[in-house]
Homo-oligomer: A and B are copies of this chain.
């Protein structure tokens, strides 16, 4: 069969140091075994696709299993690690920071760990933020709080300057916690490092509350986000139901991908309509959203609408969109537009309504992680440390098909993950809300 070199992780060099972690290579001794670079997880779990691969004599795609390696690249006592957090807040950042510090310190005896303040800005000496020394004692309680103790910022910095800063501060490993832009930045830093022939590992931990990083099962903080959204939506229903022809519009995060909105709708059955960026819909027309909304009001006298921030962008004129410092398109507020359009529509037909608009975005993203996200953050941090100490670079750690793997950053940033409008997840959301497949 043809060899398949997809999804290969770059190494800084040959790992020659014996890991200080006391594991085993024997099966059946109840002690975890070192993971080998050749342990791989299938990318595609559909039997039909496997058959198709085999027919073409191609080994199917697979990902490198993450975990502690028997031989590592960095000697802990000589190693300095740095952690940077970029972009918007997301539940679980502090959990990741905490577990990175604990794993570096206790598993590998890494002597110095520094926090880069306020995102990539902190790697620009001209901005002049001071590094933050991170110790187990400093971080031991931070998982109880949302936000990031390191501070964050949006936008990039000159890659060459950032690499200089790493070199000047004798940093051996950089952990970058962030979304699409951050990871692309990390990849650029890591590539520059390789080009310069330096031995600094760059590791990404995907942080995107929108859950829009490609390939991976989920990003940390995502489950918390709809866990926090659900009681808000439950109570928004009280606002809708408490008025005659009452409506509540809840805007949730999701620039290009509506996972939070759709998950909330699927968790919380009071939602009657969910609008996501992946979805093509019209307000007007016989089968448009407004007509469907009217039917709902006529039958039940209230309606709850969940809308992702990036939904319905076609309803704005093109010239209205701008870009933020991270390069994300800044959408006009679809929630406010919806409220205005709904009001105008029902006013025009003399139907008395009450509309409440709720935007809990900052409340959600600044919350502490729930238990399952905390667990996930810990796993991610441990795996990131094991990979980085082994000298791997330009990689992210993530769960795929329920297994933890290392993936090249370049592979997960090729495109954004979106809801498949023809897939089972979206079908589930439609089944839960009862809204039609198409509103146009």
A435 at interface, CB cutoff 8 A: no
Q: A67-B424, A152-B242 are in contact. Are A144 and B144 (CB under 8 A)?
A: yes
Q: A243-B151, A424-B32 are in contact. Are A362 and B358 (CB under 8 A)?
A: yes
Interface positions, chain A 88-108, Cβ under 8 Å from B, are: 89, 98-99, 102-103, 106-107
Are A401 and B147 neighbours in the complex by a CB distance under 8 Å? no
In the bound complex, what is the Cα–Cα distance between A381 and B77 (angstroms)?
47
In the bound complex, what is the Cα–Cα distance between A63 and B409 (angstroms)?
32
Are B267 and A422 neighbours in the complex by a CB distance under 8 Å? no
Are B227 and A370 neighbours in the complex by a CB distance under 8 Å? yes
Q: Which stretch from A22-30, A168-176, A186-194, A388-396 is at the chain B interface?
A: A22-30
Chain B residues near A45 (CB-CB < 8 A): 41-42, 45, 401-403
Pick the residue among B103, B244, B363 that contacts A121 (CB under 8 A). B244
Pick the residue among B89, B263, B422 that contacts A239 (CB under 8 A). B89
Interface positions, chain A 1-38, Cβ under 8 Å from B, are: 22, 24, 27-33, 38
Q: Which stretch from A200-208, A229-237, A313-321, A334-342 is at the chain B interface?
A: A229-237
A253 at interface, CB cutoff 8 A: no
Are B382 and A264 neighbours in the complex by a CB distance under 8 Å? no
In the bound complex, what is the Cα–Cα distance between A393 and B356 (angstroms)?
35
In the bound complex, what is the Cα–Cα distance between A327 and B119 (angstroms)?
49
Are A241 and B372 neighbours in the complex by a CB distance under 8 Å? no
Q: Which stretch from A46-54, A158-166, A289-297 is at the chain B interface?
A: A46-54
A135 at interface, CB cutoff 8 A: no
A423 at interface, CB cutoff 8 A: yes
A359 at interface, CB cutoff 8 A: yes
Q: A45-B401, A47-B40, A431-B103 are in contact. Are A437 and B30 (CB under 8 A)?
A: yes
A269 at interface, CB cutoff 8 A: yes
Interface positions, chain A 132-173, Cβ under 8 Å from B, are: 140-141, 143-148, 151-153
Pick the residue among B60, B144, B145, B226 that contacts A372 (CB under 8 A). B226
Q: Mark interface residues in A229-261 (1 if CB within 8 Å of B CB, else 0).
A: 111101111110111101010000000000000
Chain B residues near A73 (CB-CB < 8 A): none
In the bound complex, what is the Cα–Cα distance between A422 and B29 (angstroms)?
7
Q: A236-B362, A370-B370 are in contact. Are A382 and B431 (CB under 8 A)?
A: yes
Say how far A63's CB is from chain B's closest CB, in angstroms: 9
A288 at interface, CB cutoff 8 A: no
Are A238 and B146 neighbours in the complex by a CB distance under 8 Å? yes
Interface positions, chain A 268-288, Cβ under 8 Å from B, are: 268-269, 280
List 9 A-B residue pairs with CB atoms under 8 Å apart, sorted by A's residue number. Answer: A32-B423, A42-B50, A144-B234, A235-B366, A235-B367, A267-B372, A267-B375, A375-B428, A379-B424
Lowest 3 A-B CB distances belong to which pairs? A147-B238, A235-B366, A32-B427
Enumerate chain A interface residues (CB-CB to B < 8 A).
22, 24, 27-33, 38-42, 45-48, 50, 54, 60, 62, 67, 89, 98-99, 102-103, 106-107, 117-118, 121, 129, 140-141, 143-148, 151-153, 217, 223, 226-227, 229-232, 234-239, 241-244, 246, 248, 263-264, 266-269, 280, 356, 358-360, 362-363, 366-368, 370-372, 374-375, 378-379, 382, 401-404, 421-424, 426-428, 430-432, 434, 437-438
